[in-house]
Amino acid sequence: MFFIRCTKSRPWANSHLKLASIRPFFRALPSRTLSTAQSTRDGRPFRLAVIGSGPAGFYTAYRAMTRIQNARVDMYEALPVPYGLVRFGVAPDHPEVKNCQEKFEEVASSPNFTFIGNVSIGTKSDHPDGGTIPLASILRHYHAVVFSYGAAKDRTLGIPGEHVKGVYSARQFVGWYNGLPEHANLAPDLTRGDEAVIIGQGNVALDVARMLLEDVDVLRKSDIAEHAIETLSKSKVRRVHIVGRRGPMQAAFTIKEIRELLRLPSVAFHPIDTSLVPQDIKSLPRAPRRLMDILLQDSPTPPTHCSPPTQTKQQKSWSLDFLLSPTAFLPSPADPARLAATKFTRTTLSDPFDPAAYALPTTDADPHTIPSALAFRSVGYQSTPLPEFAPLGIPFSDRHGVISNDGRGRVQHEERAADASMRIGRFPGLYCAGWVKRGPTGVIASTMQDAFSTADAMAEDWADGRVAFLNDKGRDVGGWDGVKGEGMSGVRVVDWEGWRRIDRAERERGARVGKEREKFTRTGDMLAVLG
């Protein structure tokens, strides 16, 4: 969303779940049973392990249980709590988006579904209370495994000063205000200056801007982490620059997100450069036409033209700064360990009105510098391979951050044919879904469709009878019972009822302060609820 490196669906990057586009697919979700198709092999129930409990994992589980009768699904999650980016990536002022959790609850309520929380797969848990299971152990006890663990790594800019104090990744910041234990101690300092720079112009960048500019009293009513409220209430940020290398016609943000920023009460929007917008926007396709029309409208709260010191006290504002490429984060002369400004070079476009245009360097050698004691890097996220991928020969593209697959989620690899030529083969029983399959792109509806595609491919393979799966020698496999039989002593495993108890405790904490829930931000506190 986007997370423990191997098993959590991370709040990376895209938190913009389109609820309206999800509901039609779930209207047909049976309330009592999920299996609707007959598909078994020799009477053996199909056993599936899903690694990651975010939307991609739950949608895959739902579809598999629908398509394969009596399918047994075990879902592994490194944290004690489920839902991945729905819990830790969706902006706290978007509560309606989280309604999809109700449908995930229906899936988890099936007697053929098992949640195994607080257990990391293939690498040591990054919180002290979690357990670890080798991937090889999982492979021994299932017919199929779906990797749906999201994107754990930030893309970096690779410019000087990227690690000075005051420079944060958007992923860290989003996780921090949403109560992700991994980033609970981020403690961003929002008091050192009134200007902030966000590098990147996707929806996550706009989320970060909105959190910096929103009235804290509005956020208090949401499920935002209490430590975030305390920090934001002391913030001195009044001016936010959302910076991109290209122009408005190439921007990655959506209409919904830009409207929300424009509608923030008493927050001004600085007009964009109209030369970057076609004169005749009526000739554009519907989506870009609507977006350009919104960007060209006057701000409901016009920017004041008073001096910066007065403006800092009276008004918050933001802008979309186009055609700028970052070159360095400049440290403060008084404190070289802290950020003072962000330096850019100007760019131009191969075609300013082409949505696919690329940025080019200009002959303008003068740098553009924005004073900023606070900067956020929001240029994308990347999945990482599990440590056992390489020994097992599971190919992973570090460049693209995906597991090699056929487009429908079947994991592939190169193999040598009998005539010594190289061909593409597939790993029996290995599948992938979500961002680790296609990269960190799209909204929740595309994640759902992607997960459905993977589950459909898996169901077709199982029904075929000729396609090889894991442990496909006629013996039954034990799933989670077999895995824990190999030794799980001393590990506190959280089942679905355990999650419900944590959920109830968080809701009770929230009710005491007038909000829906107050999340636990330490895994130890989550587990303490269970005694």
Binding positions:
56, 77, 85, 121, 201-204, 245-246, 257, 435, 442-444
Cα 85 from Cα 16, distance rounded (Å): 10
Q: 150, exposed or middle or buried, with CB in 10 Å at 0-12, 13-18, 19+?
A: buried
Longest CA span, the chain:
79
Amino acid code (one letter) for 400: H
Query: What residue numbers does the annotated binding site for NADP(+) cover?
Result: 201-204, 245-246, 257, 442
Helices and strands (H, E) in the chain, number of each type: 18, 22
Cα 86 from Cα 58, distance rounded (Å): 11
Q: 102, exposed or middle or buried, with CB in 10 Å at 0-12, 13-18, 19+?
A: exposed
Query: What residue numbers does the annotated binding site for FAD cover?
Result: 56, 77, 85, 121, 435, 442-444
Amino acid code (one letter) for 94: H
β-partners of residue 321 are 243
Distance from chain centroid for Cα 414: 30
Amino acid code (one letter) for 256: K
Cα 447 from Cα 432, distance rounded (Å): 12
Cα 441 from Cα 13, distance rounded (Å): 8
DSSP calls for 350-394: S-TT-TT--EEE-S----EEEE-SEEEE-S-EE----TTHHHHT-
Name the strand (E) or helix (H) holding 497: helix 496-511
β-partners of residue 44 are 41
3 state DSSP class of 45: coil
Cα 98 from Cα 17, distance rounded (Å): 8
* End-to-end CA gap in the chain: 30
